[in-house]
Structure 1
Amino acid sequence: MTHVEDEYEYEALPENSSLAASLIAGALAGIAEHAVMYPVDSIKTRMQIIQPTPQAVYSGVINAASRITTTEGARTLWRGVNSVIMGAGPAHAIYFASYEYAKQAFGGNGSGHHPLAAAAAGTCATVAHDAMMNPFDVIKQRMQVHGSIYRSVSDCARKVYHAEGMRAFYISYPTTLTMTIPFQSIQFATYEYLRKVLNPSGHYDPMTHIMAGGVAGAVAAAATTPLDVAKTLLQTRGESKDLRIRNCNGLVEAWKLIYQRQGLAGFAKGLQPRVLSHMPSTAICWSVYEYGKFLLNRENIDKQPIMT
């Protein structure tokens, strides 16, 4: 008598996995990704503001971290994190569930490299994810700016809605998609390629997911920083006293404004903290998610009947 073969490809979720199990794996990955590197993301947001207050002008990540913690307290770096946690769970659950379904549909689970299938699946997942996450991201950035007056996530949501309406939570959605679709396409294609190069056997290997995820996150973050600068402008425009910034209505107008005020250098603002935050956060996200898939498949294998 022999048991079911122990050598198995775990990369795709088992066919009989419940939808809830798949969603839980994605939700945990999303929360881990955003929460761990949140202070660096706060620094990135502040460095991307076009007209910051004199107290919020920083020469680099270390300088920003030092000044913020000494003048405003270390807790300031975590302002708005509750918004990310509230949104990241359900948004990433939908994100990974959509990715797995689309990758299978596009033939990305077959042997060999399938960068186009991975990129297309990443695009589908991104559209669904950003639709849910965008309002939470707006609240997060409003609370991250220097001198934020909001006491909590609910306080911020209520005041922004009363002052600017529902449009404030989605004014950046087209720009967000313009940024995140290439970001996720680059990230997924790079990750899937490196994963198969570093681990051709397809067996569970945490180090592979850490390395592939970190490199994929860094490459995608660097390539899409100009779009992220525009997104930050649109999501924080209501906090500016500059009428032109407050009335900025889209990506093209945001880019024109950034170029006029800061030149080409303006499109690279926040590049360092963006890469520094995405490298470990993407590595963490993929590691947590792949581990979740591994456990689900292990449970599935253990439950299969003994073969003779």
Structure 2
Amino acid sequence: MSNTEKKTLSPIYSITAGTIAGISECLVFYPLDVTKTLVQLQKGSEAKQSTFNVLKSIFKKGVAYKGISSPLAMEGFKRSVKFGATTEFKKFYNRINPSFFKENSVAVNVASGITSGIIEGFIITPFELVKVRLQDPLSKFKAPKDCLQHIISKEGYFKLFTTGLEAGALRQSVWNAAYFGSIPLLKSVILPKDLSKEDPKYDQKMLFSNFLAGTIGGLLASTINIPFDVVKSRVQGATTSEAKALYSSNTISTIFKIAKSEGPKTLFAGWTPKVLRLAPGGGLMFLMFEGMMSFFKKLNNIEE
């Protein structure tokens, strides 16, 4: 992409493309998010159900989409930041040091992903807190509004925005860094070196490349960041004074605490449903984002 193109295509397009990509992924894969949270909330000596038993159970109980209004409201904004802010931060870092942060390089993708992830952490915390409390099998809340009012009245506005903030920001930053950082490398391997727009199957090959790179990137990112995800679920799911005290340490200390008391395997609780969602979900998001950006470029007469 040339400098002229970058100036011509407004940031609103990457924000819009990210919003559409995120909402699409959420609607398709949300039951796996419910499953992941329930698996992560199982702890200690409790009888732990397998991922597929939990997934089957939530559909049987009719709660596969429980709490979706909160993340759905969040998802558009969250993904607009993930893709829109990452796209803009790439330009920012490239302007600061074009020799190190080369266009679409691993370095610029990792740096911009970390930065946008920190911003995401601040955005998602209240929504994630409500979602986790609603997904808890012991939850007595019937709707997000009831849960929100309870948190504000019992814990205060401040806790609404800070409970799980550190773990959430780390989770998003690590995920974004691994996801966006790996995609350029993956696409360079997947796409034939001699591929040109004259190739009659150019569009199909690009679609396949975007989906496969996004899927593998989602798998990698979800595996690397899951310990932070477990901590976030535990911190936000803690409602008793004992539980809150147990997870009052910083995120890194809590990771070691969980590993020591429950075993390192616990830090990867929920890996299966998380990967089942965010591997193909990562592919779907990247495919949708790239497809929408391509459409917007054609709409604005910009060559890719």
Which TM-score tier does this pair reach, normalised by the shorter chain? 0.7 to 0.9
Matches within 5 A, 1:41-80: 41-51=33-43, 57-70=47-60, 73-74=61-62, 76-80=63-67
Match of 1:221 in 2: 222
Cα gap change, 1:128 to 1:29, in 2 (>3 Å) = same
Equivalent AA in structure 1 for residue 300 of structure 2: N
Question: Counterpart of 2:238 in 1: which secondary structure?
Answer: helix
CA distance in 1, matches of 2:142, 2:260: 34
| Alpha-carbon RMSD | 2.7
Match of 1:152 in 2: 143
Unaligned regions of 5+ residues in structure 2, if any?
Answer: 198-202
Q: 1:110 offset after TM fit, Å?
A: 5.5
* Contact 2:129 2:163 (C-alpha < 8 Å) held by counterparts: no
Match of 1:95 in 2: 82
Q: 1:168 offset after TM fit, Å?
A: 3.9
Cα gap change, 1:252 to 1:212, in 2 (>3 Å) = closer
Equivalent AA in structure 2 for residue 88 of structure 1: E
Give CA-to-partner distance per residue, 1:55-111, whole Å, 9 cap, x none.
Answer: xx54322111223333xx23x111111111111112222332221111123338957
Equivalent AA in structure 1 for residue 55 of structure 2: A
* Contact 1:171 1:235 (C-alpha < 8 Å) held by counterparts: yes
Instruction: Kindly tell me the number of residue pairs found equivalent between the two proteins.
Output: 286
Matches within 5 A, 1:270-281: 270-281=270-281
Q: 1:150 offset after TM fit, Å?
A: 1.6
* Contact 1:106 1:117 (C-alpha < 8 Å) held by counterparts: yes
Question: Counterpart of 1:15 in 2: which secondary structure?
Answer: helix
CA distance in 1, matches of 2:180, 2:220: 11
Larger RCO, structures 1/2 (Cα 8 Å, 6+ apart): 1
TM-score (norm 1): 0.83
CA distance in 2, matches of 1:301, 1:186: 32
Match of 2:22 in 1: 30
Cα gap change, 1:31 to 1:13, in 2 (>3 Å) = farther
TM-score (norm 2): 0.84
Q: 1:287 offset after TM fit, Å?
A: 0.9
* Contact 1:50 1:233 (C-alpha < 8 Å) held by counterparts: no
Matches within 5 A, 1:215-294: 215-238=216-239, 241=240, 243-247=241-245, 248-249=247-248, 250-294=250-294
Equivalent AA in structure 1 for residue 215 of structure 2: G
Unaligned regions of 5+ residues in structure 1, if any?
Answer: 1-8, 304-308
* Contact 1:13 1:296 (C-alpha < 8 Å) held by counterparts: no
Matches within 5 A, 1:83-162: 83-107=70-94, 114-162=105-153
